[in-house]
Structure 1
Amino acid sequence: MTLWRGKDRLILASQSRARQMLLANAGIEFETVPAEIDERAAQQASGLSAPGDIAAFLAREKARFVSTRWPGRFVVGADQTLALGMRLFSKPAGRAQAAEQLRALAGNSHELHSGVAVARDGKILFEKVAIARMTMRRLTEAEIDAYLDEAGAAVTSSVGAYQLEGLGVHLFEYIEGDHFTILGLPLLPLLAFLRSERLIGV
């Protein structure tokens, strides 16, 4: 049973398991085609510095890149940035960098900017950026070590060294924003667009 009404399946230009899970749970038929672009080089070339602008730009670039290679198909691109004030974070390279990120975030509020875009034949048809504000509780060195021990290699797969849908939930005191935005895909506005194109049946 599927709610998808498109002639062809949607294409998700992302390898993110969280984004794939969100689409699958929503009953959307899709296939994954990663966008083979150098994100950091594209970001630097863009000259953008605001986290929301960067997320929107990279979401557009991913969607556009894949859509030019799959004619006639609707392609979803997505990206997420984490900002603590003016400081932008990238995925930690290892445990030491993950610990450093957690020390910086602990006791503070940071923002996740999640961008989504839909393209077809190289043309952007829809885009949206949503924001979640995350307040991490104060953490002792012992708590950081215990978390890193338990979370293992997973800490290097997410910016900020946490995955809220997993053990990362223990790090937080307060959250403002929807779950979809936190997982990196503003799902409700995306579904509204797909519905407007008569691609889903509800």
Structure 2
Amino acid sequence: MKNSGELILASTSSARKALMDGLGLPYRTEAPGVDEHVAASLSAEEAVRSLAARKARAVHERHPGAWVLGADQLVEVGRDVLGKPQDRDAARGQLQRLLGHTHAIHTGVCLVGPGGRLTEAVETTRLTFFPVPPEELERYLDTGEWEGCAGSYRVEGQGQALLAKLEGDRTNVQGLPMLSVVRLFRQAGFTFFTRP
């Protein structure tokens, strides 16, 4: 890595960590610990951009010499934005909205470097889910994959069996749009494929 200073992923998500691990860059994770509420007047794209920057800046304030990558994700169906469900009933309601329909996943990413230099991107992927009967939906809810996930599913797990069609970057659906992330890293001068 050409840049001096450590790289920190401002997230404790196991899915985001798995995607970052694939790049082979040395990094560590840290929980941003920020308020995730945004103004209802913001579009889904504006909300994820704002939250990704808030998370990255929060960790960067604690480590001003580091490079910090923040991310946030929301699901949009029709004109409604879906965040993380509070309980199984909320997860059921979210999935009932998505099954048999097409929805969008928006993920914002923000890279803050030494001196506070900031670059950001928003990636959108469109997914169509199969219509499934109520008993199958309940079996999926039994997996517990809905916990902590915007839209109440994980495509890197059993939730991929709900997926009829995907348009865009699959890693975006998993929580970290790696096409955008790599572009931000390259713009910042990171080098890849180096020996440890």
TM-score surpassing 0.5? yes
**Structure 2 CA distance, aligned partners of 1:76 and 1:16?**
13
The 3-state SS of whatever aligns with 1:11 is: strand
Q: Does 1:186 align with 2:183?
A: no
1:10 aligns with 2:7: yes
Matched residue count: 193
Q: Find the aligned partners of 1:20 and 1:89 in 2 and give their Cα distance.
A: 23
> How many percent identity over aligned positions?
34
1:49 corresponds in structure 2 to 42
Checking the alignment, whether the CA contact within 8 Å between 1:68 and 1:121 is kept in structure 2 is: no
Within the alignment, does 1:159 sit opposite 2:150 as a pair?
yes
Asked if 2 retains the 8 angstrom alpha-carbon contact of 1:68 and 1:120, the reply is no
Q: Which amino acid is the alignment partner of residue 71 of structure 1?
A: P
Write the distance in 1 (CA, Å) between the matches of 2:95 and 2:138. 10
Establish whether residue 119 from structure 1 lines up as the match of residue 112 from structure 2: yes
Classify 1:66/1:122 alpha carbon distance in 2 versus 1 (closer, same or farther; 3 Å).
farther
Q: Distance in 1 between matches of 2:111 and 2:41?
A: 21
The structure with the greater share of residues assigned to helix is 1
Report if the CA contact (8 A) 1:64-1:121 is conserved: no
RMSD of aligned C-alpha atoms?
Answer: 1.6
The superposition leaves residues 37-68 of structure 1 with CA deviations (integer Å, 9 ceiling, x where unpaired) of 1111xx13xx5421011011100111111111
Conservation of the 8 A alpha-carbon contact between 1:64 and 1:122:
no
Aligned to 2:27: 30
Q: TM-score, normalised by structure 2?
A: 0.91
Alignment match of 1:131 (pick from 124, 127, 144): 124
Query: Please, which of 180, 187, 196 is the counterpart of residue 196 of structure 1?
Result: 187
Q: Which moved further from structure 2: 117-126 or 49-58?
A: 117-126
Q: Mean alpha-carbon deviation: is it higher for 168-177 or for 5-14?
A: 5-14
In structure 2, how many angstroms separate the alpha carbons of the residues matched to 1:86 and 1:122? 38
State the distance in 1 between where 2:178 and 2:90 align: 30
TM-score normalized by structure 1? Answer: 0.89
Is residue 36 of structure 2 the alignment partner of residue 39 of structure 1?
A: yes
Structure 1 gaps of 5+ residues are none
List, as ranges, runs of 4+ consecutive aligned residues in structure 1 with deviation greater than 4 Å: none
